[in-house]
């Protein structure tokens, strides 16, 4: 409606401007062209007289310019019978034909250059003929101007009464436009503004977590009605979502508490496993060691026996009196050396070991009781089952701010199937399948260090290797 009202106002203004300006502009344009012709003809007459008296180059240029202007003004005279009428059409026709004949006589006269080309009588007759033609054309120009002014005046007096009625028409249209705009405004206020204001008010309450307001009701079936319906649905959905979210948060809090309790239980379980690992003593190992000590005591002096007893004491002391979760690498290597000395006393030349430490063992911290269980597994499950024995090599180096610890043996090794089962059991924390030693070390490496790794590699008949990756902690 607003667009229609504005469009009608614009069209009406265009019609008024076209009626007023078009008619008056035509009258003024016709008058201007007639006056241009009359002025051009008078200027050409003066230029001709001057050129006849003095045929200088300057006068010739002025004369040719005046002739060109006159020819142009003659061609620009209105020559439409339906528009200009019979009188102006006949006068214009006479001017066009008369100027064409005049131009021929004028040019023929000027071709003689001066009066020497004619006799005196001929020269004067021809000159005065041209003067008469110029007067004739000037008179017709005056008649055309008078006729044009008269017709323009008649047209003006015809349009003036209509122009006087335009203010009344404009006033009536303005009243209608204002009334229509007011009606549309009230309709828009009722159907658009009021619902939107109510939506804004309820939205502010919803922002304050208040969903107790009643739904906005509206009879509109347009876009505003769809907006209101969608808003009501959104309000109910949001209220339900918040209620559900609160319930989920409460449930999450309960689960979090249970998770914390579970973690505490796992920590206590890990501590128990560690204590169990520390207190684990292989009866077969103790029996064999004690037999060896007894035999050596009979066959040798007390020096070797003293060393064996010292090594065994160090192992017991480390197992039972080390409460820390991390110790210096140097201490772990000493425990392994004591253990390997005792095992060499047992296996003799069947067992060889080599320790290669490329880091400062007095500054590096590793988990307590890490190396000895791995070495023991290598001896028990790898070397002891091989008749000719084998080698155990411990290699420690640093790479990318991480301590790499490799414990490798040349024992019997494992098949690919057994290795896969062992790796799966380690990943699933199944200590029943892998034993307390390796399983406990695997879990502690991953829980104590971000980026820590426990990898095991084996090939049947060639041996087994365990690779530990521990971030540097100085």
Question: What is the distance in angstroms between the CA of the first residue and the CA of the last residue of the chain?
Answer: 82
Calculate the CA dihedral of residues 306, 307, 310, 312 and round it to 10 degrees. Answer: -110
- Per-residue 3-state assignment (H helix, E strand, C coil) for the chain: CHHHHHHHHHHHHHHHHHHHHHHHHHHHHHHHHHHHHHHHHHHHHHHHHHHHHCCCHHHHHHHHHHHHHHHHHHHHCCCCHHHHHHHHHHHHHHHHHHHHHHHHHHHHHHHCCCHHHCCHHHHHHHHHHHHHHHHHHHHHHHHHHHHHHHHHHHHHHHHHHHHHHHHHHHHHHHHHHHHHHHHHHHHHHHHHHHHHHHHHHHHHHHHCCCCCCCCCCCCCCCHHHHHHHHHHHHHHHHHHHHHHHHHHHHHHHHHHHHHHHHHHHHHHHHHHHHHHHHHCCCHHHHHHHHHHHHHHHHHCCHHHHHHHHHHHHHHHHHHHCCCCCEEEHHHHHHHHHHHHHHHHHHHHHHEEEEEEECCCCCCCEEECCCHHHHHHHHHHHHHCCCCCCEEEEEEEEEECCEEEEEEEECCCCCCHHHHHHHHHHHHCCCHHHHCHHHHHHHHHHHHHCCCCEEEEEEECCCEEEEEEEEECCC
Tell me the pairing of strands 390-399 and 351-357. parallel
pLDDT tens profile 16-60:
666 555 556 777 787 888 888 888 888 988 988 888 888 888 988
CB of 40 within 8 A of CB of 70? yes
Using alpha carbons only, what angle is made at residue 468 by residues 464 and 401, rounded to the nearest 5 degrees?
A: 145
Residue partners of 77: CB distance under 8 A and separation at least 6 = 33, 34, 37, 92, 95, 96, 144
How many whole angstroms separate alpha carbon 125 and alpha carbon 105? 12
Q: Residue 423: which of 466, 372, 376 has the closest Cα?
A: 466
Sign of the Cα pseudo-torsion (338, 342, 348, 353, in order)? negative
How many whole angstroms separate alpha carbon 420 and alpha carbon 460? 13
How many whole angstroms separate alpha carbon 160 and alpha carbon 23? 11
**pLDDT value for 167:** 73
Longest Cα–Cα distance in the chain: 180
Sign of the Cα pseudo-torsion (422, 426, 428, 431, in order)? positive
Phi first, then psi: what are they for 300, rounded to 5°? -125, 175
pLDDT tens profile 143-178:
888 888 887 777 666 766 666 676 777 777 778 878
Tell me the pairing of strands 463-471 and 402-409. antiparallel
pTM, full prediction: 0.42
How many whole angstroms separate alpha carbon 63 and alpha carbon 69? 10
Residue partners of 223: CB distance under 8 A and separation at least 6 = none
**pLDDT value for 469:** 94
CB of 381 within 8 A of CB of 418? no
**pLDDT value for 115:** 46
CB of 232 within 8 A of CB of 215? yes
**pLDDT value for 99:** 87
Mean pLDDT by 10 residues, the chain (474 residues): 72 66 68 86 89 86 90 86 83 87 86 60 82 87 83 69 70 79 76 72 73 67 69 73 79 84 74 59 56 65 72 75 83 91 88 92 89 90 88 94 94 90 84 70 88 92 93 76
**pLDDT value for 330:** 92
Residue partners of 278: CB distance under 8 A and separation at least 6 = 319, 320, 322, 369
Burial of 184 (0-12, 13-18, 19+ CB in 10 A): middle
Q: Residue 52: which of 101, 98, 117 has the closest Cα?
A: 117
Sign of the Cα pseudo-torsion (255, 260, 264, 270, in order)? positive
CB of 353 within 8 A of CB of 391? yes
How many whole angstroms separate alpha carbon 48 and alpha carbon 104? 14
CA–chain centroid gap for 370, Å, is 52
């Amino acid at each position: 409606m607003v667009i229609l009202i504005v469009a009608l106002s614009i069209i009406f203004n265009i019609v008024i401007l076209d009626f007023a300006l078009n008619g008056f502009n035509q009258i003024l344009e016709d008058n201007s062209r007639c006056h241009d012709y009359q002025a051009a003809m008078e200027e050409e007459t003066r230029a001709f007289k001057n050129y006849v008296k003095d045929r200088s180059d300057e006068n010739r240029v002025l004369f040719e310019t005046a002739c060109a202007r006159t020819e142009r003004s003659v061609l620009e005279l209105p020559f439409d019978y339906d528009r200009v009428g019979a009188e102006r059409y006949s006068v214009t026709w006479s001017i066009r034909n008369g100027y064409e004949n005049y131009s021929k006589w004028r040019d023929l006269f000027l071709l003689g250059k001066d009066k020497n080309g004619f006799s005196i009588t001929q020269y004067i007759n021809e000159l005065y003929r041209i003067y008469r033609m110029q007067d004739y054309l000037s008179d017709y120009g005056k008649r055309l101007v008078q006729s044009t002014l008269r017709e323009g005046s008649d047209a003006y007096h015809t349009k003036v009464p209509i122009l006087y009625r335009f203010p009344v028409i404009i006033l009536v249209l303005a009243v209608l436009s204002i009334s229509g705009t007011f009606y549309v405004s009230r309709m828009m206020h009722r159907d658009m503004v009021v619902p939107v204001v109510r939506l804004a008010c309820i939205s502010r309450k919803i922002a304050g977590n208040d969903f107790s307001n009643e739904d906005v009701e509206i009879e509109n079936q347009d876009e505003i009605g769809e907006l209101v319906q969608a808003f009501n649905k959104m309000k109910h959905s949001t209220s339900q979502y918040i209620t559900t979210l609160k319930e989920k948060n409460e449930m999450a809090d309960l689960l979090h508490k249970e998770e914390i309790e579970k973690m505490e239980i796992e920590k206590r379980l890990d501590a128990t496993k560690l204590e169990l690992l520390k207190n684990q003593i292989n009866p077969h190992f103790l029996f064999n060691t004690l037999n060896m000590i007894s035999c050596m005591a009979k066959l040798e002096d007390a020096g070797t026996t003293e060393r064996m007893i010292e090594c065994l004491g160090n192992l017991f002391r480390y197992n039972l009196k080390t409460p820390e979760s991390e110790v210096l690498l140097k201490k772990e290597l000493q425990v392994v050396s004591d253990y390997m000395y005792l095992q060499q006393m047992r296996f003799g030349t069947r067992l060889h070991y080599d320790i290669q430490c490329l880091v400062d063992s007095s500054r590096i911290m590793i988990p307590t009781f890490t190396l000895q269980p791995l070495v023991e597994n290598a001896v028990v499950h790898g070397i002891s089952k091989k008749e000719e024995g084998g080698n155990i090599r411990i290699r420690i180096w640093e790479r990318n701010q991480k301590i790499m610890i490799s414990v490798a043996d040349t024992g019997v090794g494992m098949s690919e199937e057994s290795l896969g089962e062992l790796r799966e059991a380690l990943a699933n924390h199944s200590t029943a399948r892998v034993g307390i030693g390796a399983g406990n070390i695997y879990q502690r490496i991953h829980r104590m260090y971000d980026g820590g790794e426990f990898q095991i590699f084996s090939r049947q008949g060639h041996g087994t290797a365990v690779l530990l990756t521990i971030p540097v902690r100085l």
